[in-house]
Amino acid sequence: MPDPITAAFQQCQQLGWIPFFQSAASDHSFAPELLMAMGYRESNLNPKYLTVPGDNGHGYGLLQVDIRSYPDWVNAGFWKDAQLCISKGAEILASKRDGITAAIGQTGITVKTLAGQSFTFDGAPISGANLLRVTVAAYNCGMWAYYHYSKGHDVDQGTTGQDYSKDVLNNTARFQQLLNSA
Amino acid sequence: MSATKLPTTRLPRRFRLYAFLFSVLVLLLAQSLFAQEPKAPADIFSSALAQLKQQTHLPILLPDHLPPLAQSSVYARASVDNDSYSVRIESDPDCNGANACFLGIFRAKRNGHLSYPVTLNLTTKTGKPVAARYKATTCGGSCSSPSIEWKSNGVLYTVQLTLHTKSEQQARTVMTDLAQESISAGPR
């Protein structure tokens, strides 16, 4: 019996999802294996999540797009389509990368919680692997990932399980191996 | 005639009522006394706790009970390394760490640092202040559940839970109470 990641990858192949990851990754300058690892972290890439929400009824689709942040997209039912889920996930991830890049060196950057509280921080210089790590963490917790990075904390401090980007980037290497050997 | 008989028939009923009230009072008193004794942690932790006790030297802080979570079926699994432990709670036994079925995590890390934005006032059982912080739900494409952290004897404890609450304010109250309960209960 294959390990869970291999099993998820093989299921993506069987369901014809690999080209969706490749296309979305190409559109937004990411690696397809990164998007696959994010999908695995969010939903195990389990097609069940194309029919039922996860995360206490808040997360929709393979990338668990949250209805509190993207109500129009969710309510339109796009989350039931694997290709649309993957392209939306890539689009959101790119928007996080762009938001962080635009905030580099800025002072008084505001971050908010769902409780409505606002906090400010000054954006630290960031590039390369650190920018990718913070971008991935930001997919799960927004600009709080850059807040923690700029304050010198672990960038996953504000993420689910406090290991989101670490887990995704570790699994990215696994999905890359699987893609290369496919 | 019947008027003279009334007191003799009422007296036993009153007596029974007093006896009933007295027994209720005794039961409540006993319950109250029992509540002041250290409790076992919530049942969900039983197998994880056994593993943690064997594998970590860190003081294990856990609450007496779990607050209502987003799902009723919960599965716990523990992991340990040299300087930390964690108990992850999921709604699916085959969750494999996916966010979709994440319900919570209890972590302890030696020499960890407080990092959340909101400062809280928690205390030990003896009233000594405990440094603690909180973060509400934060969102990107997906979202990260509320978390609370506190530092005790050089160990950073963090609890993150996907709660079944009506508001973020209520979630903060629940998380604060849970942290206080874990601190007050002491190491397991």
Tell me the nearest-neighbour CA distance from B29 into chain A, angstroms: 39
Give tens-digit pLDDT for A162-175.
999 999 999 999 99
For residue A130, the surrounding DSSP H or E stretch is: helix A128-141
- Among partner residues B116, B144, B164, which is closest to A160 by beta-carbon distance? B144
Shortest distance between the Cα of A182 and any Cα of chain B, in A, equals: 23
* pLDDT averaged over 10-residue windows placed end to end, chain A, 182 residues: 95 98 98 98 98 95 97 98 98 98 97 93 98 98 98 96 97 98 91
User: Over the stretch B88-127, which tens digit does the pLDDT of each residue have?
Assistant: 999 999 999 999 999 999 999 999 999 999 999 999 988 9
Task: Kindly report the pTM of this predicted structure.
Answer: 0.87
pLDDT confidence bin for B29, thresholds 50/70/90:
low
CB contact B169 to A (< 8 Å): yes
**CA B90 to CA B93: how far, in whole Å?**
7
Are A39 and A62 in contact, with CB atoms under 8 Å apart? yes
Distance CA B59, CA B185 (A): 12
pLDDT score at B47: 84
**ipTM, interface predicted TM-score of the complex:** 0.95
Q: Which residues of A touch B118 (CB under 8 A)?
A: 117
Asked if B180 has any chain A CB less than 8 Å from its own CB, the reply is no
**Of B125, B119, B113, B118, whose CA–CA distance to B151 is shortest?**
B113
Interstrand relation of B155-161 and B102-110 (parallel, antiparallel or unpaired): antiparallel
Closest partner residue to A140 (CB to CB) among B101, B144, B169 is B144
AA letter at A169: L
Residues of chain A with C-beta less than 8 angstroms from the C-beta of B72: none
pLDDT above 60 (res B31): no
CA geometry: angle A66, A123, A108, nearest 5 deg: 90
Across the interface, which of B99, B107, B135 has its CB nearest the CB of A42? B99
d(CA A89, CA A98): 14
Measure the N-to-C terminal CA separation of chain A; round to a whole number of Å.
18
Q: What are the domain boundaries of chain A?
A: 4-181
Contact call for B139 and A44, based on CB within 8 A? no
CATH fold, domain A4-181, is: Lysozyme (1.10.530)
CB neighbourhood size of B83 (10 A): 14
